[in-house]
Amino acid sequence: MAKKSTVKSNWPKYLLQWGVLALLVFFLSGLASLIFTKMAAPDPEKYCPFGGLEAFGTYLANNSLPCSMTSMQIVMGIVLAAVVVLLGKLFCGYLCPVGTVEDLLKKLRQAVGFKAFNINSNSVLDKALRIIKYILLFVAFYMTMTASELFCKNFDPYYATATGFKGEITLWMSIVTVAIVLILGLFVDRFWCKYICPLGAVSNSLKFWVWLVVLVALWWVLGLLGIHIAWIWLLGAMCLVGYLLEILCGKPKTQLIGVVIDNNKCTGACRLCQKNCPYNIDVPTFEGKVNSVDCTLCGECVASCPVKALSIGVKPGVESKCSKFTKLLPATLTVVSVIIAFLLGGKFEVPTIDENWGIEPGMKLETLKVEGLKSVKCFSSSKAFKAKMEKVPGVHGVKTFVGSHTVVVTYDANATDAEKIEAQMFVPSKFRVNSLEPNAYDSLKCVTIRTEKMFDKLDLNYLGMQMRLTEKKIFGLESMYDCPLIVKVYMAPDEELNEAWFKNIVEKKTLEMPVHGGGVKMIDLGFKFIRMEKGCSFVSTQDYLRMMFDSFAAEYRKNVDADAPQWWYEIVDHNYEKPIVRRGMPFLSNHLSSHDGVLGTYLTLNEDLEPCIRIRYTAPMTDDELFRLMTMPKWTIKYSDDDIREVDAKMSFETPGHSILVN
């Protein structure tokens, strides 16, 4: 019998699948930012349920969240799990973009008449291949829970494609998985989903959730009895049991709804249901209910059955009385579950880290909450913040919420107070608003303003960018801690800016930051202007330029002849003002320091106020040898006595410098 198209009769599935795919292409390809020019850059992992489940597992095991995961992804993951337990793999059938691509590839194959190479579901090969996704599931969870970095990003074909292969991926893994999706998916129905996808493994094991609950309960009871088994064994056991149930049983029994088959109507002759099924499930072989572990309730079989032997329903063996309504049920429940996840995900926030130390009886514990710390944005930056707070006397705990860039610090009020902690949190900084030619002015005017809610080191940059957009003759900002905060504004001597102007600029609610390639990124701000100090001061342009320059200096203790001549090897380049050069200096210093005769490495302004890199050296080092070392494609970096590595050079030098006698 000829195959008929199911697009019209199964439109809810196509609407959701193609709608999600179209939205992802629209937002992630940059098309959306051409239309909504003030839109923030989209985050491809913002609603990832698998990332959410990994984050949830990490939270249970370590009381912390990996990467920049927030409660939104966790809720997405938990809702997905609940939906699988109660209803089925609706995410796989209706939302997952990888699944949609696999379904489109099947349609393409059928349209061009390629032969399918589906693997018999009872074959040894099918059963052997199904273990791959459980191994990947175990590895992804284990790596994420131990390293607090989302491991699945290394190989996720969706993430690699969504980031244009530029995200936190491992290139070869991503190329392999994208090739699996596109090439194997063209010939084998849902190859990726059946055999490789770790979220497919989670979903399939959750269809046998009773056994997983038994395992967790057993582990918990053993713990109560004093037999503590590491979580990694529980994780391994869950993966193994999930795999065994999938290949040995394969027919979960606890789902509330499913595809119901009237075996009196179906003769099993046409097999249109199987041909249209994305998983090539042999539908007519089931009795009453099509409870295959692979089934996603996509409804393709129902839509393609010419004798209406199939329907979506609750009770096996009974034809649904309202099949027109029930066929909409899976798509409707998919939409409802996504809405619930959205609403719940925005309602609360799980801390990325929640750590306490040194708390003793008798302490008067209080908390200080600081919002808007934009540099606290992931697990690593949370840990860095905690490391900083650990050194502050009287502080005994830190919680971070990366979604809202908020920190809560627990301290002993007998030992310190909120103001002292705020002072320790604050990072004084400088920001160059506009470039300044050394001979443009003899001196610059310095006006002091007082602000609040600018604790993060990025905040001064944002205020500076805001000022840059006004095209006033403002050259630099400098912040220092006080209450309220001190911000010094350096400007041309003839620039006249009053208090109202500063208040307006400081209290702007958003920054429209221009981004590379056109467009703007919207950044929410919440600074408060307090006052402008009376009067102003003047600083020489030379002093200002030296003060603003982010210099670097490293000197090496070496036994050298004090009377031997020493030299500066100097390379001048105006690009040396850029932060990327400053970040490369510790590597250059490390690379050169082990060579005889090299005494120091510097990034500074020379006597003509030009940015330059200087190497101080003496014999036996020579300027030619220094240039050769600096231009090597690999630098030798000594991390410790036992850890010396060859790394790619962090800077490139095209023109040799010149030597100047020091003594």
Query: In the complex with ligand SF4, which residue's Cβ is closer, 301 or 341?
Result: 301
* Torsion angles phi and psi, residue 553, rounded to 5: -145, 130
Residue 340: both structure tokens together: 């619930």
Query: In the complex with ligand SF4, which residue's Cβ is closer, 74 or 193?
Result: 193
Q: Exposed, middle or buried, 455 (CB in 10 Å: 0-12/13-18/19+)?
A: buried
Query: In the complex with ligand SF4, which residue's Cβ is closer, 44 or 99?
Result: 99
How, if at all, do strands 430-432 and 395-401 pair?
unpaired
For residue 80, state whether it binds ligand SF4 (rule: CB under 6 A). Answer: no
For residues 265 and 305, what is the distance between their CA atoms, to the nearest angstrom? 10
Stretch in the footprint of ligand SF4 (CB under 6 A) among 295-303, 493-501, 627-635, 651-659:
295-303
Query: In the complex with ligand SF4, which residue's Cβ is closer, 84 or 505?
Result: 84
Closest approach, Cβ 487 to ligand SF4, in A, equals: 49
* Torsion angles phi and psi, residue 43, rounded to 5: -105, 110
Residue 613: both structure tokens together: 């890199």
Residue 205: both structure tokens together: 């094991």
Closest approach, Cβ 96 to ligand SF4, in A, equals: 3
| Residue type at 524 in one-letter notation | D
Closest approach, Cβ 48 to ligand SF4, in A, equals: 10
Q: Hey, how many other C-beta atoms are within 10 angstroms of the C-beta on 553? A: 13
For residue 96, state whether it binds ligand SF4 (rule: CB under 6 A). Answer: yes
In the 3-class helix/strand/coil scheme, how is 47-71 assigned residue by residue?
CCHHHHHHHHHHHHHHCECCCCCCH
Residues 566-595 that bind ligand SF4 (CB under 6 A): none
Would you tell me the crossing angle of helices 623-630 and 579-593 to the nearest 10 degrees?
120
For residue 281, state whether it binds ligand SF4 (rule: CB under 6 A). Answer: yes
Provide DSSP, 624-656: HHHHHHHT-SEEEEEEETTEEEEEE-S----S-
For residues 465 and 514, what is the distance between their CA atoms, to the nearest angstrom? 9
For residue 262, state whether it binds ligand SF4 (rule: CB under 6 A). Answer: no
Q: Exposed, middle or buried, 187 (CB in 10 Å: 0-12/13-18/19+)?
A: middle
398: closest CA among 420, 414, 381, 415? 381
Query: In the complex with ligand SF4, which residue's Cβ is closer, 330 or 611?
Result: 330
Stretch in the footprint of ligand SF4 (CB under 6 A) among 297-305, 382-390, 546-554, 583-591:
297-305
For residue 53, state whether it binds ligand SF4 (rule: CB under 6 A). Answer: no
For residue 90, state whether it binds ligand SF4 (rule: CB under 6 A). Answer: no
| Helix (H/G/I), strand (E/B), else coil: 614 | strand
Closest approach, Cβ 467 to ligand SF4, in A, equals: 47
Closest approach, Cβ 628 to ligand SF4, in A, equals: 52
Q: Hey, how many other C-beta atoms are within 10 angstroms of the C-beta on 264? A: 9
Closest approach, Cβ 98 to ligand SF4, in A, equals: 4
For residue 329, state whether it binds ligand SF4 (rule: CB under 6 A). Answer: no
CA torsion 620→621→625→629, rounded to 10°?
130
How, if at all, do strands 634-640 and 537-540 pair?
unpaired
For residue 21, state whether it binds ligand SF4 (rule: CB under 6 A). Answer: no
Q: What are the distances in angstroms from CA 453 to CA 133, 148, 325, 476, 530?
A: 48, 30, 54, 20, 11
For residue 532, state whether it binds ligand SF4 (rule: CB under 6 A). Answer: no
Q: Identify the residue among 52, 185, 250, 299 touching ligand SF4 (CB under 6 A).
A: 299
Closest approach, Cβ 259 to ligand SF4, in A, equals: 5
| Residue type at 481 in one-letter notation | Y
For residues 576 and 613, what is the distance between their CA atoms, to the nearest angstrom? 8
Closest approach, Cβ 193 to ligand SF4, in A, equals: 3
CB neighbour list of residue 392: distance below 8 Å, 6 or more residues apart: 416, 420, 421, 424
Q: With CB under 6 A, what is the number of residues at the site for ligand SF4?
A: 24
Q: What is the maximal distance between C-alpha atoms in the chain?
A: 105
For residue 290, state whether it binds ligand SF4 (rule: CB under 6 A). Answer: yes
Instruction: Return the DSSP state at 481.
Output: -
Query: In the complex with ligand SF4, which residue's Cβ is closer, 332 or 606?
Result: 332
For residue 326, state whether it binds ligand SF4 (rule: CB under 6 A). Answer: no
Q: Identify the residue among 48, 81, 98, 407 touching ligand SF4 (CB under 6 A).
A: 98
Q: Identify the residue among 92, 152, 309, 603 touching ligand SF4 (CB under 6 A).
A: 92
For residues 476 and 434, what is the distance between their CA atoms, to the nearest angstrom? 7
For residue 279, state whether it binds ligand SF4 (rule: CB under 6 A). Answer: yes
Closest approach, Cβ 303 to ligand SF4, in A, equals: 8
Closest approach, Cβ 393 to ligand SF4, in A, equals: 50
| Helix (H/G/I), strand (E/B), else coil: 341 | helix
Cβ atoms 541, 442 nearer than 8 A = yes
For residue 250, state whether it binds ligand SF4 (rule: CB under 6 A). Answer: no
Closest approach, Cβ 201 to ligand SF4, in A, equals: 8
Closest approach, Cβ 185 to ligand SF4, in A, equals: 10
Q: Identify the residue among 72, 87, 152, 298 touching ligand SF4 (CB under 6 A).
A: 298
For residues 209 and 256, what is the distance between their CA atoms, to the nearest angstrom? 13
Query: In the complex with ligand SF4, which residue's Cβ is closer, 183 or 387?
Result: 183
For residues 383 and 398, what is the distance between their CA atoms, to the nearest angstrom? 9
For residue 277, state whether it binds ligand SF4 (rule: CB under 6 A). Answer: yes
Which runs of E-coded beta strand occur in 424-506? 430-432, 443-452, 474-480, 485-491
Stretch in the footprint of ligand SF4 (CB under 6 A) among 248-256, 260-268, 290-298, 379-387:
290-298
For residues 233 and 177, what is the distance between their CA atoms, to the nearest angstrom? 28
For residue 252, state whether it binds ligand SF4 (rule: CB under 6 A). Answer: no
For residue 421, state whether it binds ligand SF4 (rule: CB under 6 A). Answer: no
CB neighbour list of residue 383: distance below 8 Å, 6 or more residues apart: 353
* Torsion angles phi and psi, residue 628, rounded to 5: -65, -45
Q: Identify the residue among 66, 185, 278, 584 touching ligand SF4 (CB under 6 A).
A: 278
| Helix (H/G/I), strand (E/B), else coil: 281 | coil
For residue 297, state whether it binds ligand SF4 (rule: CB under 6 A). Answer: yes
Residues 136-195 that bind ligand SF4 (CB under 6 A): 192-193
Stretch in the footprint of ligand SF4 (CB under 6 A) among 139-147, 228-236, 279-287, 554-562:
279-287
Q: Identify the residue among 212, 295, 333, 485 touching ligand SF4 (CB under 6 A).
A: 295
Residues 190-209 that bind ligand SF4 (CB under 6 A): 192-193, 197, 199-200
For residue 259, state whether it binds ligand SF4 (rule: CB under 6 A). Answer: yes
Q: Identify the residue among 87, 140, 266, 283 touching ligand SF4 (CB under 6 A).
A: 283
Closest approach, Cβ 197 to ligand SF4, in A, equals: 3
Footprint of ligand SF4 (CB under 6 A)? 91-92, 96, 98-99, 192-193, 197, 199-200, 259, 277-279, 281, 283, 290, 295-301
